[in-house]
Structure 1
Amino acid sequence: MAGIRGIVDGPDFVALPNALWEAAQHPAPSGPHWQQGVTWTDWCGGAGTAYADECIAVTGTGGSVPAAPPLEPTTGGLDRGATAFTVYAAFDCSLIGLPDVDQAAQALDRSEAFQVGRAFWTGRAGGIATVWPHLAADDDLDDPHGIRLQTAADTVLAAADDPAVAIGRLDGALADQYGGQGAVHVPVAALATLKSRSLIRMDDADGVLRTPGGNRIVAAAGYTGSGPDGSAAPDGSAWIYATGALFGYRSDVTVREFPGTFDRSNNTVRKQASRTYLFGWECAHLAALMTLGVPT
């Protein structure tokens, strides 16, 4: 960059809140092997109730308490897996004028949250379906060893309805199927609609957005609002999803320079900054179609 005007620093980049990485738990990796994919066991399902034995007194029945029924399995383990994907930024960087600034790393910082959200929603990296699990999915997928890489989203609301109905269905289904604090994934454009109906509350301590049921709202840049089959939502509506608790891994940023791309006429060289991610979730995978817009 050359010219008569002085070179200054631009404004600091501030990432949007309630992004995917911030919403995920971050287990300590045991090494770099997670980048080849991970496997874990989900214990999903339910529990039952029983009474202790025939010594329980039942008042007013006029009879004895029957023997307790035998205990049956209520839950089972499911081996699940997740694959990693890499986001990158690459362009031609000036070798003079900005000696203390790594332009490629700065470019990655500005774009990676969008690319991460897009890959996690659509399952596509580099234009190919290789990101598992992802949100917009309507079929199960197992690897050759029987590990469940992808679950089909359970659609709890297939026709566009009021956002209160959609959020209520997802909160209720999460409570039934998971029972713990999960995540509700919404496009950024849907936040105003949810706010207009008081369907979002913010934790005072950390600024985290939550549904009325207490589940975390993830509004990642890059979330498309597309349906489980990958098609765009009808005009005036958006698909939203819910999952059990999220976890994720990410690598450090790697910056590479390609000397063979040096352009003497412009004094530039190609640089690339990249980072690898992996995400997974527990048990529930739900979808609902909500109407966009303010109340009438």
Structure 2
Amino acid sequence: MAAGLRKYVEAIGGTPLPHGILNTPCTEVRDVSDEHELLGVEWLALGCCPVQSWSDPCLDDESPGDVSPGDGPGTLGKKEFCRPVAEHAEPITLYAGAECSAMGWTYAEARMHAQATLDLGEQHGLEAAFWRSKLTADAVDLTPAEGPLTIAQGVAALEGCMAEAYGGVGILHVPVRASAPLGCCDLAREDQATGGLTTLAGNCVIIGAGYSAANTGPGNTPADPATAWLYITGPLVIRRGPAVVTPDRPGASVNTRTNDRNVLVERTYVVGTTCTVCAVNVQV
């Protein structure tokens, strides 16, 4: 098909960023078909309760001798128990829609274009949605009253927060606009075995284009100029449903009043994380 003197060619394809939320070994992506899982999930938090140390009072020379370990009236032999909390994750539905004149596009072409749009942009869209629905909603703000930290100080503060609350490998969430200093300050390195990014402490790093588009703090407060928000969470498990095309047949895709063809492709995700979310504002 010609457009004036120009020749019509195929669209320019693209590749999602390699360290985003769906392309990194930091996250576990599960393709699921169970509709119940895609309505949201709930679980008991694991690893958020501290493992305590205990000394047997019977081995102490000053022990009164009548305190039963774990059952005594005093604090000397008392062991603490932690009740796991219930955590949950809500569904996020992303979509891509294609619209064109029915005279210029077949149903198959419109469907293919909408699907390709979703495939290329789903990572960006999921990052932005997760940032808004979880990170900014639940984070503890570590930014001092004096103002934004350097990026090295910010990473240190976040990793300290995660270490105190969880102790396992966490995930650092970094907008693209703040990613360059990670390299020049040697804050993140590529793992040659997995291809993922990790910090010196061993936490994973996600660099998100969708994060950069949002760049808001707790409560969705916009970042000040020349600053960015960083977050840290526990591990991520992403449940991803199948792509659903609407309508599922050619005839129903045409609006007879305008002669336009509309095809929609949707996909539902449930992104779960655990224990705590911490945030800090840094200078970029």
TM range (shorter): 0.7 to 0.9
Q: 2:18 matched to 1:17?
A: yes
Counterpart of 2:271 (choices 264, 272, 279) is 279
Contact 2:227/2:282, CA 8 A, preserved across alignment: yes
Q: Give the distance between the partners of 1:75 and 1:52, measured in 2 at CA.
A: 20
Task: Give aligned-pair identity as a percent.
Answer: 28
Q: Give the distance between the partners of 1:31 and 1:183, measured in 2 at CA.
A: 27
Which region of structure 1 is more displaced relative to structure 2, 236-245 or 264-273?
A: 264-273
Q: Which residue of 2 aligns with 1:155?
A: 141
| Number of residue pairs matched by the alignment | 261
Q: Which residue of 2 aligns with 1:129?
A: none
Instruction: Flag the structure with more relative contact order, 1 or 2, with Cα contacts below 8 A and sequence separation at least 6.
Output: 2
Counterpart of 2:184 (choices 185, 190, 196) is 196
The one-character-per-residue Cα deviations of 1:177-201 (angstroms, maximum 9, x if unpaired) are 1000010111111101222211111
Which region of structure 1 is more displaced relative to structure 2, 7-16 or 238-247?
A: 7-16
Cα pair distance change 1:40/1:98, threshold 3 Å = closer
TM-score normalised over the length of structure 2: 0.81
Counterpart of 1:212 (choices 177, 186, 200) is 200
TM-score normalised over the length of structure 1: 0.78
SS in 1 for 2:231: strand
Whose helix proportion is higher, 1 or 2?
2
SS in 2 for 1:278: strand
Q: Give the distance between the partners of 1:38 and 1:86, measured in 2 at CA.
A: 15
Which region of structure 1 is more displaced relative to structure 2, 218-227 or 91-100?
A: 91-100
Contact 2:243/2:266, CA 8 A, preserved across alignment: yes
- Offset, 1:33: 0.7
Contact 1:182/1:216, CA 8 A, preserved across alignment: yes
Q: Which residue of 1 aligns with 2:72?
A: none
Contact 1:190/1:238, CA 8 A, preserved across alignment: yes
Q: Which runs of 5+ in 1 are unaligned?
A: 57-63, 124-133, 138-151
The one-character-per-residue Cα deviations of 1:67-99 (angstroms, maximum 9, x if unpaired) are 663233253211111110211111225435986
Q: Which runs of 5+ in 2 are unaligned?
A: 70-75
Cα pair distance change 1:105/1:193, threshold 3 Å = same
Where in structure 1 do 4 or more consecutive aligned residues deviate above 4 Å?
1-8, 27-30, 96-101, 263-268
Q: 2:86 matched to 1:79?
A: yes
Q: Give the distance between the partners of 1:236 and 1:9, measured in 2 at CA.
A: 39
- Offset, 1:7: 5.1
